[in-house]
A and B are shown apart, each in its own frame.
Chain A
Amino acid sequence: MTSSTNTQKTFWQRHRLTLTPWLFLLPGLVMFLLYVILPIFQSILISFYEWDGLTVAKYIGLANYHELWQDDAFYTSLKNNLIWLILYMLAIPAGLTIALFLNQTVFGIRLYKSLFFFPFVISQVVVGLVFAWFYDPSNGILAVIYQAFGGKPPAILADERYVTYGIIAAGLWPQIAYCMILYLTGLNNVAPEQIEAARLDGAKGFRMLWHVILPQLRPATFIAIVVTVIGALRSFDLISIMTQGGPYGSSRVLAYYMYETALSEYGYRMGYGAAIAVVLFLIMMVYISFFLWRMYQQEK
């Protein structure tokens, strides 16, 4: 009897356990393939073409990359990307400091925590606008401060020397809040017994932080680095809002330059834009592979 029911089991009944997770994953996988994986290969393909989005695309081999190689604007963007990457890392120690500072139980601490987290909640567009007004050399608060000391305020967003730093400062504001919240949740999970034990052994202050608390915050640090690096590399909205890449293109980063050549009012060089996208993709790949490799090594 039992053996006959076994043979009557349908394909679905036999493989239910293996198939169910895939079925649940299916919508996500399809979306991921369609909107992430496929476009990557399409971008790589388009980067070998000269295409304005209207007429027939023309195959030109590596000519787009060759042009990129000699393009000053490309190097300016690359350099700015690097500055972004380095300075954005400041968000991690700054976020940690604020998180340590806020990790105490006094009256109203929840309110303070939410106030510190506030910049991450508001849109990057709003952050950009607020900082642009803040920097305004005629009416901005920075100008008021300078004038109070009898100085002449610098036009931060109109000066090629300061513009990138000015935008990064605006970007750091929400990014620090983000890192702070990551560390705050991390601090919740720090084992109190270990701290107690360390205290009995006479550890306090910086030694306590370095040897006892930080190692336990490792997962939080890992996530904080990942989101900060990605945040720095895809910086686009702030630049678009605050300067539109100006003055004369000196605050462009790769993501913005790609948008400008491929999609902006004077652009429509899809192939050239795609070539920039591929370079940006490769830079991200290097970093992500390094990180995955390290994670793999540690788990081994």
Chain B
Amino acid sequence: MLSTLKKLSLTVAMTTLLSIPAWAGELVINYDGSDPAPKKAFEEVIQKFETANPDIKVKWNIFDHEGYKTSIRNFLTANPPDVFSWYAANRMAPFVKAGLVEDVTDLWEKEGLNDAMASAADAMTIDSKKWGVPYTYYQWGIYYRKDLFDKHGIAVPTKWDEFLAACAKLKENGITPIAIGTKQTWTTGGVFDYINMRVNGYEVHKDLTAGKIKYTDPQIQKTFDHWDQLVKPGYFLENHATFTWQEALAPMVQGKAAMYIMGNFAVAPLKEAGLTNDQLGFFQFPEITPNIEQAEDAPTDTFHISSKAKNKEDARKFLAFLASPDVQTSVNKTLGQLPINKNASVDDDPFIKAGFEMLSKTKYLGQFYDRDADAEMAKAGMDGFQEYMIKPERREAILKQLDKVQEKVNSKQGS
């Protein structure tokens, strides 16, 4: 019965997908960049690739960004494209473990990517094999209103105490220190990642997301002690659970809030809403425990070959093309993000440059809470973080609940 169900869902998926079966010389690519910038960047890549390889005809399907996360499960099993876009680290693990992704370790060796993309090698590796090629990533950190900081005589904080003092001063002057919208709970993951990486360092953070450390561990408690110092005085935007992250940008644009802990993709909407480079700035999340090795969140977007691809030869060509310094430079210029290949060059944009400088000094790159942790754990974790940010007094109960979920997830993976 299960197999009939599978077959049924396959048929449905096949009829809904627009792609037609590939023949030799045709390369089918599924891509999730439905927003204007990613779409444009991708169109440029395809054009260049076809010019460089006149015998290959690329057939590409662009999916809605959110819808893609669901449809990938259908098309990978039912009607696999040759190449598909996805994310690094634990996010690709279910597909790798189900045998749906092609091992491209050979490509990494042949193209010298182990050296050129060393910073992302770890995130692309599962069971000491490489499973895809990264094409872009972006920094996380704190975006802030320079003009508000100047007006109230606040310098850019580099230490935790300075950061708390800045928050206190902003609050005194009737400005919300940190804007955040937690209607989609993933935004809380960024705050947690940073406080935890700054308090305990990358290794502890990695062990936590891998399920080796409990959430009630004293080290993680210390993370929450620091988070308390932001939550209890009310430094975050009020009623943040009502807003999506985009809606929470509004108070920042209106000058009612001064900082936003976010990824670089927040810059585009902030500027569209009217902020200029004179008003908007970026700084690294401040240091908490002194002399801890620097770690940052830098989610990496990737391309993979499906194991059932019909045209693996051309798919490898495409991945190699995508990994080359020139292509990485031009793609990321259009995307407004950072190239992975260390021989690529970055755009002039001040935020990109700031991100590039910061990340080039960084030893460890986290992918983001919901890409590093197991999916079920991530969902429970981010729900818990949101609850904690609204009801900080429930911290103990929440952390115990997270331990329970972690135990369940661990026992499943062990079996």
Q: Which residues of chain A from 31 to 72 have any CB-CB distance to chain B below 8 Å in the complex?
A: 41-42, 45-46, 49-55, 57, 67, 72
Interface check B209, CB cutoff 8 A: no
A42 & B1 in contact (Cβ 8 Å cutoff): yes
Question: B93-128: which residues lie under 8 A (CB-CB) from chain A?
Answer: 94-95, 97-98, 100
**A157/B378 in contact, CB under 8 A:** no
Query: Quick one: CB contact mask for A228-263 with B, threshold 8 Å, 1 for yes?
Result: 000000000000000110111100000000001001
CB proximity to B under 8 Å, residues A75-128: none
Instruction: Tell me whether B2 and A155 are in contact (CB under 8 A).
Output: no
Min CB–CB distance A189 → chain B (angstroms): 43
Report the bound CA distance from A41 to B76 in whole Å.
Answer: 26
Interface residue? B18 (CB, 8 A): no
Q: Which of A49, A246, A263 contacts B70 (CB 8 A)?
A: A263
Docked-complex contact A246 and B386, CB < 8 angstroms: yes
Q: Interface SS of chain A: helix, strand, loop or mixed?
A: loop
Name the segment of B159-167, B224-232, B239-247, B308-316 touching the other chain: B239-247
Q: CA of A53 to CA of B98 in the docked complex: distance in angstroms?
A: 10
**How many residues of chain B are within 8 Å of chain A by beta carbon?**
37
Q: Which residues of B contact A45 (CB under 8 A)?
A: 1-2
Tell me the interface secondary structure of chain B in the complex.
helix
Q: Are A54 and B387 in contact (CB under 8 A)?
A: no
Q: Measured between alpha carbons, how far is A54 from B240 in the docked complex, in Å? A: 36
Name which of B100, B239, B242, B390 has the most chain A CB atoms within 10 A of its CB: B242
- Once the chains are docked, how many angstroms separate the CA of A158 from the CA of B237? 13
A49: chain B residues within 8 A (beta carbon): 2
Q: Is there an interface contact between B241 and A246, defined as CB atoms closer than 8 Å?
A: yes
Say how far A135's CB is from chain B's closest CB, in angstroms. Answer: 8
A265 touches B69 (CB 8 A): yes
Complex contact B5–A46 (CB within 8 A): yes
Contact of A158 among B2, B240, B379 (CB under 8 A): B240
Q: Kindly list chain A residues whose C-beta atoms are within 8 Å of the C-beta of B185.
A: 246, 248
Cα of A45 to Cα of B184 in the assembled complex, Å: 33
Q: Is the CB of A158 within 8 A of B242?
A: yes
Partner of B241, one of A52, A158, A268: A158
Interface residues of B (CB under 8 A from A): 1-2, 5, 66, 69-70, 73, 76-77, 94-95, 97-98, 100, 182-185, 238-242, 251, 370, 375-376, 378-379, 383-384, 386-387, 390, 401, 408, 412
